[in-house]
Amino acid sequence: MVTDPPLSHTAHARAVLVLGLPLVGSHLAQIAITVTDTLMLGRYGVEALAAGVLAHTVFFTVFVVGAGYAFAVMPMVAKAAAAGDATQVRRVTRMGLWLSVLYAAVVFPLFWASEPLLRGLGQEPEIAALASDYLRIAAFGMLPSLLVMVMKSYFSALERAQAVLWVSAAGALANVGLNWVLIFGNLGFPEMGVRGAAVASLLTFAGMLAGFIAIAVLALPEHRLFQRLWKPDWEAFFAVFRLGWPIGLTHLAESGLFSAATMMMGWIGTVELAAHGIALQLASITFMVHIGLSQAATVRTGRAWGRGDAVNLMRGGVMALVASAAFVGVTILLFLTLPEPLMGLFLDPADPDRPAVIGVGVMLLALAALFQLADAAQVMALGLLRGVQDTRVPMVMAGVSYWLIGAPASAGLGIWLGWGAAGVWLGLVAGLGAAALMLMARFWGQRLWLSQMGLESDVAAPKSGPAPAA
């Protein structure tokens, strides 16, 4: 099998950043939609903020399972593109769209019946009712949100990250204006509060989907992506399904842990729930950097794996991890030195609960600094493993880490021992740390991707000579 000459580590670092930084920017723009909701609902009132946090937690938990099919599209398209197979690129992407439509239809009733479910989970009746108002509208937004994720994976795998960045940035800006109009009732619109945030997000993702479709049709006509979109392709359908459902359940294991932590915070109190929501938003913003780098690692690894190029696969993985670790250091410094100003951004200065929320939040940000390294390590390992289309064993590892270690630790420390918010977050640290260790051992220890390519000796003794320029 013919492979490319080994690139230097510097060249790999450059390649990871050229692809990864626009993806980081796109993820930051996308999470800005949620952050905008949190900021503006915090200014609207602490109850609205708590309901928004609860509703978004439920929505995101369901969303990430369906997004597994979109994440499966990325390494499959990357491998097909490396082989020059435009037909396979089209087949995989179209069936990713199909699976997203089917999933959105299946989960719609869950959001419509969310109020009794939330009350049954021990949430305060007023907060559960407000959260349900959000989720009933967000039910219609699940479909465009999932289709946007498939299109992002398609463009990312083709290393067209600039398109992903600009559409995501435009969506984030549009959401700010829509929230300002609909939450607070500006420009003559009715004041909708929590429901206004949900409508704004729905309109934003619908607009982003339209933008991605237009770019795909105009910039990549050779793929004929939407030609005979209604025609089933069962071979590709089940290929995406087989790779995607373990990714979705892996996401569910992690997001489910954070959702469980949110429910526990609701049991502890409204102030703790609001502080948890803000601290989690801040941690999520920094986490988007690692997701972008992880996706760059998936694409680079997937392309190298498609060529049977073990040397460049390994070097690219190392440099992706180095880039992620460098940002971890910056994040830890930020959370430990500026916790009060960061928390204060999300709260109305005149709100009587502001000091209490900030007090709890400062403590939580110190713990968020503690788990930054583990959180970054586990998502980077997942990105590398997905590049070689290894998803089922990582799914099991995630389930064990988050639900046999993390969730019991959060409940035991936070609820049973009475440590409150700090105990819940220490459980998160335990779960993320266990996942990071297991997943890193899976990729670097067992070297599954080497045995599949039969190139162990090539990595053990790469050819000597100067590395070519990028």
Q: Report the distance separating Cα 147 and Cα 252, nearest Å.
A: 18
Residue linked to tokens 């179209």: 94
pLDDT tens across the length of the chain (470 residues): 445 566 666 776 777 777 777 888 887 887 778 778 877 887 787 788 888 878 888 888 899 899 999 989 988 998 888 888 889 999 999 999 999 999 999 999 999 988 888 888 777 788 888 888 999 999 999 999 999 999 999 998 898 888 988 999 999 999 999 999 999 989 988 888 889 999 999 999 999 999 999 999 999 988 888 888 888 899 999 999 999 999 999 888 888 888 888 888 888 887 888 888 888 888 888 888 888 888 888 888 877 777 777 777 777 778 888 888 898 999 899 899 988 888 888 777 777 778 888 888 888 988 888 778 888 999 999 988 888 888 888 999 999 999 999 999 999 998 888 888 889 989 999 999 999 999 999 888 755 555 555 544 343 333 333 333 33
Q: Report the distance separating Cα 242 and Cα 72, nearest Å.
A: 9
Q: Report the distance separating Cα 154 and Cα 78, nearest Å.
A: 8
What's the whole-model pTM score? 0.75
C-alpha 79, offset from chain centre = 22
Do 300 and 79 form a contact (C-beta atoms < 8 A)? no
Question: For residue 7, what are its two tokens?
Answer: 């690139």
Q: Report the distance separating Cα 463 and Cα 6, nearest Å.
A: 8
Give the helix, strand, coil percentages of the chain, each rounded to 5: 85, 0, 15
Concatenating the DSSP letter of every residue in 10-68 gives HHHHHHHHHHHHHHHHHHHHHHHHHHHHHHHHHHH-HHHHHHHHHHHHHHHHHHHHHHH
Residue linked to tokens 């928004």: 52
pLDDT at 150: 96
pLDDT at 24: 82
In 243-344 the beta strands, taken as DSSP E runs, fall at none
pLDDT at 468: 34
